Amino acid sequence: MTVTRLQDSGGPDRRLEHLLEDDPADLYENAPMGYFSTLPDGRIVKVNRTFCEWIGRPADQVLGSRFQDLLSMGGRVYYETHLIPLLRMQGAVREIALDLVRADGTDLACLANAVEIRDDDGAPLLMRATVFEATARRRYERGMLAAQRRAEESERRSRTLQMVVSDLAAALSVEDVASVIVERSREPLHARGAALVLVETDPHDPDAAPALQPVRADGLPDQLLRELRHAAGSQLASELARGVRSIVLDDRLRGLQPGLSAAMADGSLTELVVVPVTADGRRLGVLVLALGRGPDDLIDLDRPGGTASLTTADVDLLWTIGRQAGQALERARLHEQTARQAERASFLLEAARLLAGAADVEETVDRLAGLVVHRLADVCMVDLESDEGLIRQAVRHRDPARAALAEQLRTRHLSRRTISHPGVRALQSGGTQWVRTVDDAVLRAVAMDEEHLAVMRALDLTAVVAVPLTGEGRQLGVLTIAADARRGPFTVADVEVAEQLALQLGLVVARAQRFDLAVSTSHALQDNLLPPAPPSLEGLAIAVRYLPATHGIDVGGDFYDVVRLPGEEIGLAVGDVVGHDITAAATMGQLRSVHRALLADGPAPGAVVDRLQAGWPLLGLRRMATALFASLDPVSGRLRIASAGHPPPLLLEAGRARYLPVRPSRMLGAPPSPAVEWTGVLPRGAALVLFTDGLVESRSADIDEGLDRLLAVASAAGTSDPEALCARLLSELTGAQRADDVALLVLTRR
Amino acid sequence: MTGLRVAGRRQAPGPCPRVPDVERVLQRNCVRLAGSPESRPLMFAHGFGCDQQMWRFVVPEFEADHRIVLFDHVGAGRSDLSAYDRERYNSLRGYAADVVEICRALELTDVVFVGHSVSAMIGVLALQAAPDVFGALVMIGPSPRYVDDADYVGGFSRTDIAGLLDVLDANHLGWSAQMAPVIMGTPDRPEQAAELTNSFCRTDPDIIRHFARVTFLSDNRADLATVQVPTLVLQCSDDVIAPEVVGRYVHEHIPGSVFTQLAATGHCPHLSAPEETAAALRAFLTG
């Protein structure tokens, strides 16, 4: 033991003994801790030198003052609310963290232990306390606490984000997405209200200023939304480009945007946070969060008017939520679009069935009009050309109560002299006429007399669409649909459906008229289903052939189609429905209708395959099919092809034939697999050959042999002229007896 | 504590329409009943930092002629911490709603509500919510707003409150781990030690911090004028938390209230001067 050795060594041990003879007074005064005693009211009655030195006050100043008065304000509250009650009830406290205030005003972090000395009745007499300096320990603890709070904040933010992401995953409609975003985004900033405002661009007028459409708002006054729209309207693009930003209600804002400022003040709002909602760089809209104080909100610890409400981490979180919202919106829109397309396709399919099954033109037209008022419009009229001019073949009203009223229009045959009538304009222009707002001036312009005017007024019409009927190159009449005040306005999709209907109706009417209006059911079906002649397209030469199988019924499941897409491109299709009977033929007809309906918004071939795959069960198609879909830009030659289990297309260029490596996905009607699109260029002068397996497959040869033969025959044909090439391929590859039908489409760019 | 028992469902006739689960409410707030069951109810509500045990020196004075109702605010003492809901307790109205639920669960009327510190204002809000339940209000060291505001003196700056939150953090950082075994009871009353250890053990630092925010950052000045029952304001001397000027403000803004200045110093006269406190209360009740 060290002490023993020191004692043994003589001289120094006496000094040590002296030191260890703890002079109580010295120990008290100079102990390495503050030491003091107080009366129950806190008045200090004894204190040691260490304490006085630590707080920088002479003992005579400390004595008589109250301990709580030497504490920081927070410390005083803690003393009153915790230390004193604890001491009173349990007689001792330990390691209470307090801040003493030194004479120079600085804080001294310390830990205090105290005991209460009581009289015989338990009444308090004295508090004895020791104080240890804890500056470093406190700093360390604060650092830990701050780190823990940051971690909690960060965790809170990631939890918010996780909830947003998982809720968005289940949101199928734009409305769902908006509801998730508006609800979830309020939490991080404790926003009083939130609104999701989307930018709506008019598809018919892309140059028009985009409109701001609040999709969902919660906790925001209407007036504020109106003012926001007004404020953002003129400089929308720049607003959205500025990222997450905060608009504080201050004098500057009051000067620049008095309306907005007043609306904020009315709603007790102090700040708006604007978050861009984007997807892949496209700005879809904004999320607006409104911050402010509610009647029961706590007093803000920051000085009033302080504006440091947004931290970088908040900004990052909101920015991410904005992007998540954008992607979810795009997804929801696609989903809604697909659902609408399926709905549209099923309507067109029903119409196609109806047209195929009708006995004659009158019945066809009437039943179609009935279907239209059931699904699409309030009023439907069909006017057909005849030797005596235009005859109103059908008038139907959705509401049976107004059917009699509408029936009065039946004798009001269109006169080509009424040039302002949308039907007449449609016939003269050859294109759809869409009157978005029907006012009394419009009615008066088309009315033949007062009685006619009265009927039209009574029908309460708000919008009219007139589509010309054409078939086999002739104008056949006009299909007119109208909406009344009880129904919403027509959408672009409604008008597209009307156009599709007019296209089908035109074909039926044209054929019916050609067969002198005496068409049997089976013939109508057959005629309707056989592929039409391709349109003549500038810069392209196209030849098509369809050869039915020589066994059984002379209709089959093969088809081709050539369609002008919105924009410059054209769409090509060749397909083969399994089987060679009426069901195969009907399925083929349905598939072609659906395909046409899908093309309304110009999807890429891969998307056509995907949507058909996805829609197959919905459409109730009873057979599987293979098909090849292509889009071609006649100017650049850009060619995109997607295959659903179909034989590859053939390219014949400068006397050399090869198959294009289009990777087929599964057949239509099989469990869907994503389509893989092939993209390339069709050189000028080269011939693209699309065909069905009837051309390459026979009872005597399998398909690989057949494909090789086709390659050889095409290479040796010595021509790329579509008509000549068609003739050559069919004569070389097919005989008089065919087990399968054949569809063949050859196309060259001039 | 003898004479106290854990409250059970009272087998009183008649339905209890507004409280679907009486037991749940009584357990949530650790409600304890004492005194004379048929007498006028005297409900004691503890303030920030403590629990119902704070009343132990005062309660015996009233057991003979009052029905005593003691409870812990949710988050304090032996209340059900799992019932702590940040949204509900983001305003003193949440605590006031609890008070009303307790009174309804016990089917109390003509209650004398004795609220210390922040509970004085909770009492004002409870009166607002259920005027049919309460007959008188006693406010010990009340403050409708602690933070100074323009001409109003509350006694605290925002910096002071931030400092208080820091002190709470410093004291509760390792509270449950370190302090609990340290808080030793007096050897002669071991059951008391156990009570204290438990009650402080179970106090969650986050709840304390949030309660501190709600206590010290509320502004209920406008609610004072709604009080319509006989009211006593008990004001301590040298109370740093609720200075006399604030007590006077409360008195002046509650029509017809009685202001009594105590000689007791500090913020907890029921601990430091229970006799004087009880006497003032008695004088008011018999008044």
Of B167, B196, B240, the CB nearest to A97: B167
Least Cα distance to B77 among B44, B108, B37, B101 occurs for B44
Say whether B46 is catalytic: no
pLDDT-derived band of residue B227, with 50, 70 and 90 as boundaries? very high
Domain at B117, CATH number: 3.40.50.1820
Q: Do A82 and B173 touch (CB under 8 A)?
A: no
If one counts the domains in chain B, the total is 1
Of A93, A141, A299, the CB nearest to B170: A141
| Assigned token pair, A161 | 């984000």
Q: Who has greater pLDDT, A344 or B57?
A: B57
pLDDT-derived band of residue B189, with 50, 70 and 90 as boundaries? very low
Mean of the per-residue pLDDT values of chain A: 84
Residues of A in contact with B50 (CB under 8 A): 81-82, 85
- From CA A736, how far away is CA A731, in angstroms rounded? 9
- This prediction's pTM: 0.59
**Alpha carbon of A307 to those of A167, A272, A311, B213: distances in Å?**
31, 11, 11, 21
pLDDT at A11: 59
Same-domain status, A390 and A451: yes
**Alpha carbon of B128 to those of B45, B125, B213, B220: distances in Å?**
17, 5, 22, 12
Q: Is residue A536 part of a domain?
A: yes
Q: Roughly how many angstroms between the first and final C-alpha of chain B, as a whole number? A: 30
Candidate from A235-244, A263-272, B60-69, B139-148 with smallest mean pLDDT: A235-244
**pLDDT per residue over A670-713, tens digit each?**
888 888 999 999 999 999 999 998 888 876 777 888 899 999 99
Of B158, B240, B271, the CB nearest to A303: B158
How many Cβ atoms sit within 10 Å of the Cβ of residue A572? 24
Q: Do B241 and A81 touch (CB under 8 A)?
A: yes
- What number of residues does chain B have? 287
Q: For residue A245, what is the enclosing H or E element?
A: strand A245-248
Of B166, B193, B241, the CB nearest to A80: B241
pLDDT of B44 strictly over 90: yes
Q: Is residue B262 part of a domain?
A: yes
Same-domain status, A374 and A493: yes
Contact (CB, 8 A) for A568 and A633: yes
Same-domain status, A221 and A364: no
pLDDT-derived band of residue B6, with 50, 70 and 90 as boundaries? very low
Least Cα distance to B275 among B90, B61, B16 occurs for B61
Contact (CB, 8 A) for A382 and A368: yes
Candidate from A30-44, A625-639, B76-90 with smallest mean pLDDT: B76-90
Residues of B in contact with A92 (CB under 8 A): 183-184
> Which of B117, B119, B199, B257 is an active site residue?
B117
Q: Least CA distance to A138: which residue of chain B?
A: B170
Least Cα distance to A6 among A363, A17, B25 occurs for A17
Q: Do B183 and A86 touch (CB under 8 A)?
A: yes
- State the residue range of the domain holding A628: 531-749
Looking at the complex, report in whole angstroms how far the Cα of residue A114 sits from the nearest Cα belonging to chain B. Answer: 11
Q: What mean pLDDT do residues B8-27 have?
A: 59
Contacts of A430 (CB under 8 A, 6+ apart): A468, A470, A475
- State the residue range of the domain holding B252: 5-145+220-286
Contact (CB, 8 A) for A189 and A289: yes
Of A133, A165, A181, the residue at which a domain comes to its end is A133
pLDDT of B1 strictly over 50: no
- From CA A747, how far away is CA A688, in angstroms rounded? 5
- From CA A257, how far away is CA A659, in angstroms rounded? 65
| Assigned token pair, B132 | 């049919």
Q: Do A89 and B53 touch (CB under 8 A)?
A: yes
Q: Least CA distance to A295: which residue of chain B?
A: B219
How are beta strands B258-265 and B231-237 bridged, if at all?
parallel
Selected for mutation to probe chain B from A80, A116, A148, A155 (highest B CB count within 10 Å) is: A80
Concatenated DSSP letters for A626-643? EEEEEEE-TTT-EEEEEE
Q: Residue with structure tokens 């946070």? A: A273
pLDDT-derived band of residue B190, with 50, 70 and 90 as boundaries? very low
Residues of A in contact with B186 (CB under 8 A): 90-91
Q: Is residue A278 part of a domain?
A: yes
Q: Is residue B176 part of a domain?
A: no
pLDDT at A66: 94
pLDDT of A481 strictly over 80: yes
Q: Do A299 and B196 touch (CB under 8 A)?
A: no
Q: Could you tell me the sign of the dihedral formed by the alpha carbons of A608, A609, A614, A618, in that order? A: positive
Helices (H) and strands (E) in chain A, counts: 26, 26
Same-domain status, A589 and A684: yes
Candidate from A74-88, A506-520, B2-16 with smallest mean pLDDT: B2-16
Contact (CB, 8 A) for A467 and A498: yes
Q: Roughly how many angstroms between the first and final C-alpha of chain A, as a whole number? A: 111
pLDDT at A519: 35
Of A452, A486, A521, the residue at which a domain comes to its end is A521
Same-domain status, A228 and A246: yes
What 3-state class would DSSP assign to A282?
strand
- What DSSP state is assigned to residue B19? -
pLDDT at A527: 54
Q: Least CA distance to A76: which residue of chain B?
A: B240
Q: Is residue B118 part of a domain?
A: yes
- From CA A660, how far away is CA A639, in angstroms rounded? 11
**Alpha carbon of A445 to those of A126, A384, A424, A457: distances in Å?**
105, 22, 12, 12
Q: Do B163 and A73 touch (CB under 8 A)?
A: yes
- From CA B112, how far away is CA B66, in angstroms rounded? 10
Please state the φ and ψ torsions of residue B169, each to the nearest 5 degrees: -60, -45
Q: Who has greater pLDDT, B193 or A332?
A: A332
Of B50, B91, B165, the CB nearest to A85: B50
Q: Residue with structure tokens 């045990």? A: B53
Write out A168-232 in H/E/C secondary structure: HHCCCCHHHHHHHHHHHCHHHHCCCEEEEEEEECCCCCCCCCCEEEEEEEECCCHHHHHHHHHHH
Selected for mutation to probe chain B from A298, A300, A303 (highest B CB count within 10 Å) is: A298
Of A521, A543, A563, the residue at which a domain comes to its end is A521
pLDDT at A554: 55
Q: Who has greater pLDDT, B212 or A298?
A: B212
Q: Least CA distance to B178: which residue of chain A?
A: A95
pLDDT at B10: 39
Same-domain status, A499 and A563: no
Contacts of B27 (CB under 8 A, 6+ apart): B80
- From CA A367, how far away is CA A394, in angstroms rounded? 9
Q: Could you tell me the sign of the dihedral formed by the alpha carbons of A281, A287, A292, A293, in that order? A: negative
Of B163, B182, B217, the CB nearest to A299: B217
Residues of A in contact with B246 (CB under 8 A): none
- From CA A300, how far away is CA A296, in angstroms rounded? 12
Of B53, B93, B147, the CB nearest to A299: B147
pLDDT of B3 strictly over 70: no
pLDDT at A202: 61
Q: What mean pLDDT do residues B65-71 have?
A: 96
Q: Least CA distance to A81: which residue of chain B?
A: B49
Q: Is residue A161 part of a domain?
A: yes
Q: Residue with structure tokens 């209708």? A: A593
Same-domain status, A490 and A595: no
Residues of A in contact with B177 (CB under 8 A): none
**pLDDT per residue over A364-415, tens digit each?**
888 889 888 888 889 999 999 887 788 888 999 998 888 888 888 888 888 8
| Assigned token pair, A22 | 């703890």
Widest CA span in chain A: 146
Same-domain status, A200 and A256: yes
What 3-state class would DSSP assign to A663?
coil
Q: Is residue B209 part of a domain?
A: no
Selected for mutation to probe chain A from B54, B95, B122, B171 (highest A CB count within 10 Å) is: B171
pLDDT-derived band of residue A531, with 50, 70 and 90 as boundaries? low
pLDDT of A514 strictly over 70: no
pLDDT of A485 strictly over 80: no
Domain at A43, CATH number: 3.30.450.20
Q: Is residue B186 part of a domain?
A: no
Candidate from A26-30, A275-279, A565-569, B216-220 with smallest mean pLDDT: A565-569
Beta bridge partners, A469, equal A477
Q: Is residue B154 part of a domain?
A: no
Q: Residue with structure tokens 């940040």? A: B86
Q: What mean pLDDT do residues A598-615 have?
A: 86
**pLDDT per residue over B126-152, tens digit each?**
999 999 999 999 999 999 999 999 899
Alpha helices of A278-385 — where are they, by DSSP H?
A: 312-357, 361-375
Q: Look at phi and psi of residue A243 and say left if phi exceeds 0, alpha if psi is from -120 to 50, else beta.
A: left
Q: Do B161 and A301 touch (CB under 8 A)?
A: yes
Same-domain status, A676 and A719: yes
Selected for mutation to probe chain B from A68, A76, A90 (highest B CB count within 10 Å) is: A90
Same-domain status, A313 and A198: yes
pLDDT at B184: 38
Q: Do A74 and B164 touch (CB under 8 A)?
A: yes
Looking at the complex, report in whole angstroms how far the Cα of residue B236 sits from the nearest Cα belonging to chain A. Answer: 12
If one counts the domains in chain A, the total is 4
Of A85, A142, A145, the CB nearest to B49: A85
| Assigned token pair, A386 | 């005849």
Please state the φ and ψ torsions of residue A669, each to the nearest 5 degrees: 100, -15
Percentage above 70 pLDDT, chain A: 89
**A67: amino acid identity, one letter:** F
pLDDT-derived band of residue A522, with 50, 70 and 90 as boundaries? very low
pLDDT at A113: 92
Residues of A in contact with B152 (CB under 8 A): none
**pLDDT per residue over A315-351, tens digit each?**
889 999 999 999 999 888 888 878 777 777 788 878 8
Q: Do B192 and A84 touch (CB under 8 A)?
A: no
Looking at the complex, report in whole angstroms how far the Cα of residue B38 sits from the nearest Cα belonging to chain A. Answer: 31
- From CA A257, how far away is CA A239, in angstroms rounded? 14
**Alpha carbon of A497 to those of A202, A219, A437, B119: distances in Å?**
19, 39, 20, 69
Q: Do A90 and B183 touch (CB under 8 A)?
A: yes
Chain centroid, CA B252 distance in Å: 22
pLDDT at A233: 63
Least Cα distance to A711 among A658, A660, A661 occurs for A658
- From CA B240, how far away is CA A69, in angstroms rounded? 9
**Alpha carbon of A33 to those of A101, A111, A130: distances in Å?**
16, 10, 7
**pLDDT per residue over A52-92, tens digit each?**
999 999 999 999 999 999 999 999 999 998 888 888 888 88
What 3-state class would DSSP assign to A387?
coil
How many Cβ atoms sit within 10 Å of the Cβ of residue A713? 16
Contact (CB, 8 A) for A686 and A726: no
Name the range with the highest mean pLDDT among A97-111, A411-425, A506-520, A555-569. A97-111
pLDDT at A4: 43
pLDDT-derived band of residue A541, with 50, 70 and 90 as boundaries? very high
Alpha helices of chain B — where are they, by DSSP H?
A: 22-28, 92-105, 118-129, 158-172, 180-182, 190-201, 205-216, 244-253, 269-272, 274-286
Same-domain status, A504 and A544: no
Residues of B in contact with A41 (CB under 8 A): 238, 265-266, 272
Beta bridge partners, A650, equal A659, A689
Q: For residue A61, what is the enclosing H or E element?
A: helix A59-62
Q: For residue A263, what is the enclosing H or E element?
A: helix A258-266
Least Cα distance to B29 among B108, B107, B82, B86 occurs for B82
- What DSSP state is assigned to residue B52? G
Say whether B157 is catalytic: no
Q: Who has greater pLDDT, A494 or B72?
A: B72
Q: Is residue B165 part of a domain?
A: no
> Which of B46, B73, B251, B267 is an active site residue?
B267
A445 exposure class (CB count in 10 Å sphere: 0-12, 13-18, 19+): exposed
- From CA A98, how far away is CA A74, in angstroms rounded? 8
Q: Do A90 and B164 touch (CB under 8 A)?
A: no
Q: Is residue A581 part of a domain?
A: yes
pLDDT at A582: 67
Q: Is residue A24 part of a domain?
A: no
> Which of B51, B72, B98, B239 is an active site residue?
B239
Q: Is residue A434 part of a domain?
A: yes
Selected for mutation to probe chain B from A39, A107, A296 (highest B CB count within 10 Å) is: A296
Residues of B in contact with A144 (CB under 8 A): 173
Q: Is residue B153 part of a domain?
A: no
Of B53, B56, B167, the CB nearest to A78: B167
Same-domain status, A316 and A206: yes
Q: Do A92 and B184 touch (CB under 8 A)?
A: yes
Q: Do A81 and B49 touch (CB under 8 A)?
A: yes
Residues of A in contact with B128 (CB under 8 A): none
